């Protein structure tokens, strides 16, 4: 059964990369409309009503904040995908998987499967082994220098 752990972690890693890129591309698409709204509002010298320029500063701030949060989540998913592949930072992956559950429907499914997989004892051991090996290598290098 341990042989499947590596396969499952690699699949989860690839899916984290995929959803992370999907979120980042989505932010580019939304940012284009925010920029168009700001330019339309500026072009009207601020005299147009929000309904005429399709935007107001409150909407721009709200949408820009959501875009920044989506970008942060996309970047965090890319890091989680990297850490899952390298079997490092299990706690970070758990936190991101929990946050990911808020993104319905793709994030929820991916987050739940990630939480389930990371809670297995065999996976915990694999992450623990990866965290111990770099410490041993560092100790060996420092011992060789002296």
pTM over 0.85: no
Which of 127, 78, 66 is CA-nearest to residue 102?
Answer: 66
Cα-only R_g, the chain: 22
**Mean pLDDT confidence for 57-76:** 87
| Average pLDDT over every residue of 82-98 | 91
The 10 Å Cβ neighbour count of residue 140 is 10
Residue 64 pLDDT class (50, 70, 90 cuts):
confident
Phi, psi (deg, nearest 5) at residue 49: -75, 160
Q: Where does the pLDDT of residue 139 fall: very low under 50, low under 70, confident under 90, or very high at 90 and above?
A: low
**Digit-coded pLDDT (tens) for 99-115:** 999 988 888 999 999 99
Angle at which helix 90-100 crosses helix 106-118, to 10 degrees, equals 150
């Amino acid at each position: 059964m341990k042989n499947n752990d590596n396969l499952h972690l690699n699949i989860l890693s690839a899916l984290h990369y995929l959803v992370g890129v999907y979120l980042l591309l989505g932010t580019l698409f939304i940012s284009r409309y925010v920029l168009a709204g700001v330019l339309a509002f500026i072009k009207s010298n601020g005299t147009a009503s929000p309904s005429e320029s399709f935007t107001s500063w409150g909407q721009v701030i709200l949408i820009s904040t959501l875009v920044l949060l989506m970008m942060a989540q996309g970047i965090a998913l890319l890091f989680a995908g990297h850490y899952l592949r390298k079997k490092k930072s299990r706690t970070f992956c758990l936190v991101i998987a929990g946050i990911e559950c808020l993104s319905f429907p793709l994030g929820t499914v991916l987050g739940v499967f990630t939480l389930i997989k990371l809670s297995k004892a065999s996976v915990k051991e694999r992450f623990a082994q990866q965290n111990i090996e770099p410490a041993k290598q560092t100790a060996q290098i420092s011992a060789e220098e002296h």
